[in-house]
A and B are shown apart, each in its own frame.
Chain A
Amino acid sequence: MGRYFKIFSTFARACLVRDMTFRANFLLECLTSLGWMSMNLAFYLLIFSFTPEIGRNSGWSREPFFAFVATGLIINSIVQTLFMPSASELTEMVRTGGLDSVLVRPLDAQFLLSMHRFDFSSMANGIVGVALLVWSTSRFSVAPPLIAWFLYPVLIACGVAILYGLIIMLAAATILMGRNQSLYDFWFYITNFSRYPAEIYAGPWGGPLRMVCTFVIPILLVVNVPAGTIARPLSGNAWGMIFLTCAAAIISVGLSRIVFQAALARYRSASS
């Protein structure tokens, strides 16, 4: 374990050195990342100029909704910094045979493939997410209880774990398909469902969709549960959702490991 941590920190250092070598580009990446986030925030402000809340009696008025957005920013920035850059490289590695050199190394292939490259510029959004969380929670009519603040980082970690499991399963699909340029697109589109409160998925079509995105692909738990814990009272089925999120995180990581190993067993090298 210590060896893996050492290698992890070496990779992190190397990526930081690389980012700092192209400082102007790094700065520009931070700015564009912040620009994307600001654009989304502007869109939400525009929406709230037309409505007092998102979903009738959903409780997602402006400040709670911005706490929701902040939670999404924090979780996504962790995933984008730590896992996504490596995963998006995998598709070309499979196609060109570069994956072979990873498999012959005396290290766990999943570790190497999912954590060898980091994108530190994505942390900018996370920092703004924390600031937005502080701003929005300070404007709540009722302050979140202490237990909610203890649970919040745990649930953030669970959200990250669910997304990590999903990334690994998508990476496994890349290995099976030979090429999966849609990996990043799929990631973007599937996480799109988690960008809004689960309450918007209502009605004859929304209800089943909400069930699928909660229990089959637990993408709706990722942001909704930590944000709900901090923004709404811990009553009703809140505790049930918290336990469900923890379970989903464990299952997601475990299942992704099994799927990834099965995909590697079926890998046929593309190189000569």
Chain B
Amino acid sequence: MSDHAEISRLKMSYGWLSGLKSWWRMLVICLEERLAYRTDFALGTVMRFLPIVTQVFLWTAVFNASDRTDIAGYSRDNIVAYYLLAMITRAFSSMPGLAGGISRSIRDGSVKKYLIQPVDYIGFLLASRIAHKLVYYIVAMLPFVSVLFFCRSYFPPAPDGLTIAAYALSLVLSFLLGFFLEATLGMIAFWFLEVSSIIFAYMLFQYLLSGHMFPIDMLAGIPTGLAGVSLADVVRFLPFEYTAYFPAAVWLGKITGWELVAGLLIELTWLLVMIGVCRFVWWRGTKRYSGFGG
């Protein structure tokens, strides 16, 4: 091997190691930042369970008044389990403050430091978000386990190993999909400085179309005007259901067999599309970005 090739190899391995070190450093910084305000963080985590309580009582009241044993294929117990599972999915796919933070950094100019430093901004944000989630899971573990144990009677028997593996995969993909969806949204600020309304509008659609509000199956009876096509069929073409409905439905056994495989492949496709779109929007946005002042 020539000296030149050896130097290149060393440079490459050093570059790889250096990149890994940067990621680790970013992760540690973000962990420290999150843990600096522990009380606020713990309070925010525990409070997320409050809406579930309301939903349990609401659906119990609905079932009591209607004498029905199931609604859109969901029993009362199924619905409670669904909301809890959707909440677990949202713990992976929700990205509080991500889009708003990106748009703010573009608006106030602080994004320019990432343009001159040898740090990949999207990579930094991803590391930061992983740190955020790690701290969240540590803090949320106890309340989550307690609530799930307390509500265990609402759940059907645990699915088989393969379904659990598919469920875990769908959760990881939902985290990445949620991240790239919201990161792309925040970068719209390169074109429109004030994007808070756009972010809110997105959150609104996300809440409705992801299945966070109610199982998407409940839309199956609503026609769209197209023969044989219900509103649920239209919603299933969009990426949102993978950020709440899909993993929950997988665990509850509503999606099985080839339908499950197809669902995972569609989720993966949406993720790859969003990675591409996010990178493209960043590239185009930084091309037109102008930073003034010191």
Contact = CB atoms under 8 A, between A and B. Distances in A.
Scoring B54, B71, B201 by chain A CB atoms within 10 A of each residue's CB, the highest score goes to B54
B33 to A, nearest CB: 11
Contact of A51 (B44, B66, B221): B66
A43 B201 contact: no
B6 interface: no
A76 interface: no
A28 B54 contact: no
Nearest to A54: B61
Interface stretch (A67-75, A96-104, A174-182, A234-242): A174-182
B205 to A, nearest CB: 8
A65 to B, nearest CB: 11
B37 A32 contact: no
A190 B60 CA distance: 20
B289 interface: no
Nearest to A29: B197
A193 interface: yes
B40 A50 contact: no
Nearest to B218: A46
A39 B202 CA distance: 13
A193 B58 contact: no
Interface stretch (B15-23, B180-188, B206-214, B247-255): B206-214
B51 A55 contact: no
Nearest to A36: B204
A55 B65 contact: yes
Contacts of B64: 55-56
B7 to A, nearest CB: 49
Given A55-B61, A195-B54, A50 B68 contact: yes
Contacts of A32: 197, 200-201, 204
A58 interface: yes
Given A28-B201, A50-B68, A192 B50 contact: yes
Given A53-B65, A58-B61, A196-B57, A177 B197 contact: no
A50 B194 contact: no
A39 B71 CA distance: 20
A25 B54 contact: no
A5 interface: no
A47 B54 contact: no
Scoring A55, A178, A190 by chain B CB atoms within 10 A of each residue's CB, the highest score goes to A55
A52 B68 CA distance: 11
Nearest to A177: B39
15 contacts: A25-B197, A32-B197, A35-B204, A36-B200, A50-B68, A51-B62, A51-B65, A51-B66, A51-B68, A55-B65, A58-B61, A189-B51, A193-B54, A196-B58, A206-B57
